[in-house]
Amino acid sequence: MKFIKNTAGNNRQEDADLIAAYKNTGSLDTLGTLYNKYMHLVFGVCLNYFKDEELSKDAVMQIFEELVTKLKIYEVQNFKSWLHVLTRNHCLMELRKSAKQNNVSIDDTFVENSEFVHLDIDNTKETQLTIMEKCMETLTEEQRKSVDLFYLQEKCYKEVADMTGYDILKVKSYIQNGKRNLKICIEKNSSE
């Protein structure tokens, strides 16, 4: 297929020549020529992170300003990949900065209220734990001990076997069957 050309090698050599020229001359026109080839990709990455067109446009300009100094410092082999990483890092840093700056203003009505409102405590977790405790009681003693030691006390199979005196293969079986029985019991009692 003659109509398909592999231009990746040519682009990389072209990029390397432009980087070398920029490092030698410091010409912003040369850097602009290089950056212009990938500016649409930089914008796309920024838009993906910021979800805002104006912020993304600003970021494209800020990244160019970063390139002015960083390209002189770093030895770049593959400019396109390096620029992608630089862009991603820039976006992540900006998102972190904006997350830190989210301040909440606290006014008097927020802190004090003439009506005292009780918090509605969500009892779902407490209910789930109660159901689980009841279901644990339905397991055989071997299953209950094994499941308790393995999941709740975070012991490994060997430790469970040593502590209970059960054979390690039996421990694995007790845990597997206990877990299955526990799941069935919890699902049955949760739907009631």
Domain termination site, one of 54, 85, 100: 100
* Count of beta carbons in the 10 Å neighbourhood of residue 67: 21
Same-domain pairing of 90 and 43: yes
Q: Where are the alpha helices (DSSP H) in the chain?
A: 8-25, 28-50, 53-73, 79-100, 108-111, 124-138, 141-147, 157-164, 168-190
CATH code of the domain containing 136: 1.10.10.10
Structural domain contains residue 105: no
Give, for 77, the enclosing helix (H) or strand (E): none
Structural domain contains residue 19: yes
Q: Where are the alpha helices (DSSP H) in 74-123?
A: 79-100, 108-111
Residues 177 and 170 sit within 8 Å (Cβ to Cβ):
no
Q: What is the largest CA-CA distance in the chain?
A: 80
Same-domain pairing of 75 and 132: no
Q: How many domains does the chain have?
A: 2
54, 56, 62, 67: which is closest to 26 by C-alpha? 67
**pLDDT 10s digits, 141-189:** 999 899 888 887 888 889 999 999 999 899 999 999 998 998 898 888 8
**pLDDT 10s digits, 81-91:** 999 999 999 99
Give, for 120, the enclosing helix (H) or strand (E): none
Structural domain contains residue 1: no
Length of the chain: 192
**pLDDT 10s digits, 43-80:** 999 999 899 999 999 999 999 999 999 998 888 889 99
pTM score, two decimals? 0.49
Structural domain contains residue 107: no
Range(s) of the domain holding residue 57? 8-100
Owner of token pair 């040593």: 162
Same-domain pairing of 14 and 96: yes
Structural domain contains residue 84: yes
Structural domain contains residue 88: yes
Q: What is 144-156 written as a DSSP string?
A: HHHHIIIIIS---
